Structure 1
Amino acid sequence: MLAERVADTDHPEDRSFRCLVAGLLALLVLLGATVLPAGIATAAPASPSPTASPSPTASPSPGKPAPNQVAWSIQGATKHKPDTRPTLTYQDFKPGSSREDFVAVDNFGDKPLSLTVYPSDAFNTQVGGFDVLPAARKSVDVGSWIRMAKTVVRVPARSSVVVPFTVAVPRNATPGFHVGGIVASSSGTALDTKGNNVLVDRRVGIRMYLQVSGPLHPTLAVQNLSVHYQGGWNPTGPGTATVSYTVANTGNVPLQARQSLRTDGLFGAFAKTTEAADVPLLLPGNSVRLTQKLTDVWPGGRLRTKVELAPYTTIFTLASPPAPAVGQTSVWAMPWTWLIGLLIVLAAIGWSVHRKLRRRKAARAASTPATTPEPTAPAPTPATKPE
């Protein structure tokens, strides 16, 4: 009985060990909660760009088309014939002024071709591509400033037709670049993969970059930067950092950008710089969401990530280079699998030691003979004298 009482006693050492085990279990749960989520941070996606029909392509002069093939292009022109301008670019256009210009629509096929010609505003697609609004969408910027002399042209086989147009800039136009295009399109029906007749709008276009006089602000911004670190199967090896961010054109000049990403750990350890593909041409007010996967990133504790953009433009020459755009953040990059494994091993060792100590205490208590205290005689009651 005495041995049982000793074994059932709640010793301070037992309570301390149970607290230690509970702490280790809580830490394991916390680490598991840290490892399981798919991302460290959730960033708001970039605003979706308006949709449109297939993008108008540039207007290179194709080779000789196959018989019955329909092929056409649109390019800059003088009053009488096509010229060599790949884009329509106008600088220092004063508000309230106007000018006349020309485009040439070329038919490379063996049959006459009727095409619809219309101006439109440009925008960036969700992946950063250049596109213009379809004919059914109303333009509100430079596309609404253009008046075509003809909206439908009939081009003879293997010939060109010059189409005049006028650009009139409103008096309240904002300084900077306004981007659009002039499109030559052909609509018709075609069979889809299921044999159904569907309406197809085929378009080619020439881009227009119109600069309204005034201050220029060539500015890009890195927004909504997030990083997720994923360790590899090797607990002591490098992992992968997935970096997502939005590049926004917050100025009034179309810009591209060279970009580099730098990661490092505590005190600059494990520094790594990665050059990524250039940011596509972003129009003012537009943005694109980019994601880069950086491999061989070592778990150096607090992982700092820096995205740096060097903006540039090929449309015209800026007076001075645009300022870099920088975004940075940090997340924990730890060898979680190694740490969890270490904690499990320590917990197992601690439990084994604890069981051995309990068995030893129980054995010592069982081997100690029980002692029964000697009974004590009651004290004599003193006699009382009769009164």
Structure 2
Amino acid sequence: MTRGSVLRLTSSIAAVAFVTAGLLPMANTAQAADNGAWSAAPTKQGTFTARQYFFLELSPGATVKDSVTVKNAGQVAQVLDLYPADAFNVESGAGFALRKRGDKNTDVGSWITLEKTRVEVPPGGSVSVPFTVTVPKGVTPGDHAGGVVTIEPAPAPSGDNSQIQIQRALGVRTYVRIAGPLTPALSITKVDLKVRPARLPFIGQQGGATVTYSVRNSGNVRLTADRIITLDGLFGRTLRNTGRGPIPEILPNSTVVLTESFTKMPVLNQVTANVRLIAADGKVDTSGSATALAVSWVFLFLLFLIVVGIVLAVLWSRREANLVSQMAADAGPLSPTGDQL
């Protein structure tokens, strides 16, 4: 099984589409996922605020029931399949992902039992599908992640282009926190810096830099943090600064690779990238760095030509002065009347 066979979700609830060329994430909102045809979300419980995802706190061996609601926004009945799936982070970019139908689940996806795996939702109506979460005994404490996926039964042609097959899907995140000691642990394991120097100062292409850093969640709690990245020059002068901003949520036992791009770099300098991650609760504070040279060969070549030109000008000036002195010496001294002696 490869991690390429997944449903990708980039928010608490997100829409995705399968095409023959791969997976395409669709637009997300802060509310329940809605692809224009249907939406999926945890079933509302009484007067409580609507949930955007499932979050369950359980002990090993515990069982709990819940429900997912599918709403049809269309004018015709919609047939949809449902299945549970394990979750993981996509390595590049840390996107939240759910395994494809048919893949083997070993975590939350294997704990969920749906009462129905196919529903027909009437036009403008909704259907709630109950499910049971049964936690095995001996499960490790901390956060476990999965989801409930609603998906079209089969791919269908996209518009007039019959060569592209699309299969739309919506997933609802399901987090299960198992009782026991919680050990948050986030670390930067590698930092890589690539610098593209400006060709010439203030003229034309001004270069840029890319910082790529690997982050490892070796604890048992899903974590996010704020990142601060600075690019410093040889003498400590800050060239660029991202300010403080969040990174995506990283699941336990996951390693992700994140990238930050910068514009405008000097023509010649030693650049150091300093990456720092700080959790809001202060329990995580980790950092890493990398150094690279910014060298514009165009600038150095022009500088070389200028230096060579100056040297040649000085040599020519000295040669001219020597010639004048030599001519004066060859002419000999002059008499008081101006005649040569």
TM-score by length of structure 2 reads 0.72
Name the residue aligned to 2:291.
330
**Worse-matched range after superposition: 139-148 or 262-271:** 262-271
In the TM superposition, residue 177 of structure 1 has moved relative to its aligned partner by: 0.8
Call closer, same or farther: CA 1:241–1:166 in 2, change over 3 Å.
same
Equivalent positions of 1:1-387 (< 5 A) are 49-53=3-7, 55=9, 56-57=14-15, 60=32, 70-78=37-45, 84-91=50-57, 93-125=58-90, 126-192=92-158, 195-196=161-162, 200-234=166-200, 240-270=208-238, 272-275=240-243, 278-298=246-266, 301-312=269-280, 320-334=281-295, 337-343=298-304, 349=311
Contact persistence 2:156–2:167 (CA under 8 A):
no
Letter in 1 for 2:5: T
Note the C-alpha offset of 1:208: 0.7
Please report how far the alpha carbon of residue 283 of structure 1 lies from its aligned counterpart in structure 2 after TM superposition. Answer: 2.1
Name the counterpart of 1:38.
Answer: none
Distance 1:138 1:82 in 2: 35
Paired residue secondary structure (2:4) = coil
Compute the displacement of 1:120 (Å). 0.7
Query: What runs of 5+ residues in structure 2 fail to find an aligned partner?
Result: 16-28, 323-341
Aligned residue type for 1:164? P
Asked whether the 8 Å contact 2:43–2:128 carries over to 1, the reply is no
Deviation of 1:54 after TM superposition, in Å, equals 6.1
The equivalent of 2:329 in structure 1 is: none
Aligned residues: 297
SS in 2 for 1:144: helix
**Partner secondary structure for residue 172 of structure 1:** coil
2:88 partner letter: F
Measure, in 2, the Cα distance between the counterparts of 1:292 and 1:248: 17
Aligned amino acid, residue 60 of structure 1: A
Scaled by the length of structure 1, what TM-score is found?
0.64
**1:3-32 Cα shifts (integer Å, max 9, x gaps):** xxxxxxxxxxxxxxxxxxxxxxxxxxxxxx
SS of the residue 1:196 aligns to: strand
| Whole-angstrom CA distance in 1 between matches of 2:295 and 2:8 | 46
Q: Kindly tell me: are residues 61 and 256 of structure 1, through their superposed partners in 2, closer, same or farther at Cα, counting changes over 3 Å?
A: closer
Q: After superposition, give the CA deviation of every residue in 1:50-88 in whole Å (9 maximum; x if it has no partner).
A: 33256553773869x7xxxx434342345x999722211
Determine what percentage of the aligned residue pairs are the same residue.
30
- Give 1:209 shift: 0.9
Amino acid at match of 2:115: A
Given that residues 188 and 199 in structure 1 are in contact (C-alpha distance below 8 angstroms), is that contact kept between their aligned partners in structure 2? no
What is the alpha-carbon root mean square deviation over aligned residues? Answer: 3.7
CA offset at residue 248 of structure 1? 3.2
Greater C-alpha radius of gyration: 1
Partner of 1:44: none
Q: Write 1 or 2 for the structure with the bigger share of helix.
A: 1
Distance 2:33 2:296 in 1: 57
